[in-house]
Chains A and B, each alone.
Chain A
């Protein structure tokens, strides 16, 4: 119980009026950053890092982590209201959050998103408090083969668990991979698929694609069908918090699953974005209401948000204990620690006890403060939906353009955003799922390089992925999921004889 004693000391360090004021400031800034596409958590923290140089390290990191919490909360707001994910990890939140808003349940979706974010974060902080050293050791076991196995499983689960046509899912996913390949090849340094155009050197940035596919695509659909927000007329009820909270205990297992997936992905640096997709996919598979997912199911908001925040928080664990950041934002925070003269790693827990436990205590406090702040603002956020669509539509296009431009400071990206917008509209209409495309674009580079590294180590032997129980079991599960639609299709067609054929 040394941890509890140390934690109490940490609270004494963190819980001063000055630090709480910094938390409130940081969370407000973070929510703003999270709402604006193009200003991500990592960007925001990086931009505000210099402001903290004059502060004491503990106060500085409290402020920066609060910005991080705020950004995590804020990403969900635009995802639910406008189908524009403010942050990569809120992409999965749009699947059910936005349909809920269209049905006039925006307030419930927001409360559920914020609450599950909070639960995920607190679960991960508790894990950090008690298991930091043990878990850190586990993360070290991850090599290229294990990374590729996890990524393969994530992609395979789209094919195995998807609702629509598997061939369209596969085509959409491959397009994502192909787009991710464009530009400078990270391993050999050769140029791929640029065809002599310098603009393509940097490749297709995932954020630009997301802003176009979801934001502009949604605007086009809304223009075609007319406004579909029934929330615009619905009276805002102030009891949204209680109404939503009453439904949450039923989803205990969804929370638990997403927490575990999130922590696992955060520690192993899978990151918050794949974690949110996996949490969503698992909930869809195992929930009683799985078939209603995508049409506005509360559980479909809870699952990805819990997982994303558990991952986002757990990502700080390898950063503190090993000096390996689990997410881009954690990497920026790591830079901050070095600037303040703190060397992250196992010794940090011994030499800078006050700092570490102050930070951990501030994670509990920051999330509580953040939850209270965003919950009280839910009616305010939901009121945005009452603004007429003829104002909202051009404003969203402008915000999307700004977001796309800031990714790389390039006009080319703004043009690409428009192209992706048309693509998003077509794909949604024709039943090509967008999430696999987006995820392939995010993880494409990583998946490819871990695949190539693993193959290099084994000199081209594919069995390297089955060389130990960890990657072996993940890979096997992935292969089963990837071929599931084919197998079940054959089974349906040939009955018993098909089952024996597919087993062979």
Chain B
């Protein structure tokens, strides 16, 4: 993971390309169309007619919204399809750029998954410490100090002062919370 240094500026355009703007544009436009189709199907179930003395049925508003969204996405799709030249043929992200994003996002998914099991405070401490050690190349004691500090302050703030309960795990239970 040595190539990942978030404190440095990277030139994504110069790196090995992964996804082009055109491919991403087409993909997102198709996702929009899919969403629009889902909404239309459910609006159809709810009914989008005018009910006497009741006003528009529950599906009325979403139905027309989805129709407009579908039309707009078709326009976007039509614009993205022709093969672009020059300035338009840009890459959206490069292989190293994607890896750098994964460096924060994949651990974030693990972190969110861990919250349900060991509570938010312990998992955030581990997440912060791990990121600082492996990606930021900080000395271990610094990483642990920051990680513990952030977790402890948020614990005081939410559990003690503002009395907002956050997910807690076995460690907090052992401490009596």
Contacts and interface: CB of A to CB of B under 8 A. Distances in A.
Contacts of A193: 38-39, 42, 62
Nearest to B19: A429
A224 B120 contact: no
Contact of B120 (A177, A401, A430): A401
Interface in A169-193: 170-171, 174-175, 177-178, 181, 185, 187-188, 190, 192-193
A390 B24 contact: no
A32 B164 CA distance: 14
B44 to A, nearest CB: 12
A338 B154 CA distance: 33
Contacts of B68: 170, 174
B170 interface: no
B28 interface: yes
Interface in A424-446: 425-427, 429-430, 432
Contacts of A39: 162, 164
Interface string B27-54: 0100010011011001000100010001
B142 to A, nearest CB: 9
B154 A47 contact: no
Contacts of B32: 171, 175
Contact of B112 (A401, A422, A448): A401
Given A185-B58, A429-B92, 15 more contacts: A168-B76, A178-B65, A188-B58, A193-B39, A223-B101, A224-B93, A226-B7, A226-B10, A388-B7, A390-B138, A391-B146, A397-B111, A411-B112, A415-B112, A455-B55
B58 A190 contact: yes
B72 interface: yes
Interface in B60-83: 60-62, 65-66, 68-69, 72-73, 75-76, 79
24 contacts: A167-B79, A171-B76, A187-B55, A192-B46, A192-B59, A192-B62, A220-B105, A224-B100, A226-B9, A227-B6, A389-B6, A389-B7, A393-B131, A394-B128, A395-B128, A397-B127, A401-B112, A409-B165, A418-B112, A429-B21, A430-B21, A432-B28, A455-B55, A460-B50
B174 interface: no
A394 B131 contact: yes
A220 B101 contact: yes
Contacts of B107: 394
Interface in B149-177: 150, 154, 157-158, 162-167
Contact of A388 (B54, B109, B136, B163): B136
A430 B25 contact: yes
SS class of chain A's interface: helix, strand, loop or mixed?
helix
B168 to A, nearest CB: 12
B164 A225 contact: no
A402 interface: yes
B136 A226 contact: no
B132 A394 contact: yes
A363 B8 CA distance: 46
A398 B150 contact: yes
Nearest to B68: A174
Contacts of A330: none
Given A223-B101, A394-B128, A411 B65 contact: no
Nearest to B56: A452
A195 interface: yes
Interface string B75-98: 110010000000000001100011
Interface in A381-431: 388-391, 393-395, 397-398, 401-402, 405-406, 409, 411, 414-415, 418, 421-422, 425-427, 429-430
B128 A401 contact: no
B5 to A, nearest CB: 7
A425 B60 CA distance: 31
A286 to B, nearest CB: 27
A425 B116 CA distance: 26
